[in-house]
Structure 1
Amino acid sequence: MKIRILWPAGSVTATLRETPTSKALLAALPFQANAHTWGQEVYFRTPVSPELESDAQQVVEPGTVAFWTDGDSLALPFGPTPISRGDECRLAGPCNLLGTIDGDPSVLGSVREGAAIRVEAVD
């Protein structure tokens, strides 16, 4: 299962695991949102509102595609956030783990606050 995330300065694809949240997200595609940034994390609202899954984590690897259930948002960390300890990617709270960005996640650094984001399925 793959998705593409596009913004004015670039795009990435991501490979998703088969989870209840990723299935709900795929069913809602395509959608658009406005980006928010928090340290080296991009996040944005989605049209889905899943429950927290049993394997949710707060500290993840760069390039993880996570779902922040408290904000109904995709969270895409590519480096430290304001609450990280050292170089870790620490999310605002435990998030559902959906998959990983394909390639170098640092390209997400070109996403600006308020940028238009589009999420679509990859055939």
Structure 2
Amino acid sequence: MQTQSPLRIRISWPAGHLTATLDDTTTTQALAKALPLVSTAQTWGEEVYLDTGVVVPRETNARQVVEAGTVTFWTDGDALALPYGPTPISRGDECRLASPCNVLGQLDGDPRLLSTVRAGDPIRVELMDG
């Protein structure tokens, strides 16, 4: 993997798609090796998450409260977690994850598009060229 250029992924589901730009982290590299992958979308409040089968340790900069549209990896569930608004444990409008997650990068575009993902939808994550 080229470390000088950020990694870009495409996340697609029946009602739409988003792209994301990821930082070069140990977790990102492990995820990239597993792509493309197709999983089943789950929702938790205004967060979409999906099992990846990737097992990585929690990184030192893991965070539980992030901005909407942050691409995170939930190490407790081996899942990609994509918050776009409050979850059941949020205080106010914050995006509070179930537990601290590794921060991978940021969605490109409006994270509210994730509101069209339904629990049980097939969701595909793949690397973009370039």
Normalising by structure 2, we get a TM-score of 0.94
1:70 is paired with a residue whose SS is: coil
Shift of residue 49, structure 1, vs aligned partner? 0.4
2:65 to 55, 59, 66: 59
Any residues of structure 2 matched to 1:1-123 within 5 Å, and which? Answer: 1-123=7-129
Shift of residue 5, structure 1, vs aligned partner? 0.4
C-alpha separation in 1, matches of 2:28 and 2:18: 17
2:115 is paired with a residue whose SS is: helix
Q: Are 1:31 and 1:47, in contact at CA under 8 Å, matched by a contact in 2? A: no
- After superposition, what is the alpha-carbon deviation per residue over 1:9-32, rounded to whole angstroms, capped at 9, x for unaligned? 000000000000000001110011
Letter of the 1:37 counterpart: T
Letter of the 1:64 counterpart: T
Shift of residue 97, structure 1, vs aligned partner? 0.2
Identity %: 63
Aligned length: 123
C-alpha separation in 1, matches of 2:82 and 2:124: 14
Q: Are 1:68 and 1:96, in contact at CA under 8 Å, matched by a contact in 2? A: yes
Structure 2 unaligned spans of 5+? 1-6
Shift of residue 86, structure 1, vs aligned partner? 0.1
Pairwise CA RMSD:
0.4
- Which runs of 4 or more aligned residues in structure 1 lie more than 4 Å from their structure 2 counterparts after TM superposition? none
Normalising by structure 1, we get a TM-score of 0.99
Q: Which residue of 1 aligns with 2:4?
A: none
Q: Are 1:42 and 1:75, in contact at CA under 8 Å, matched by a contact in 2? A: yes
2:87 is paired with a residue whose SS is: coil
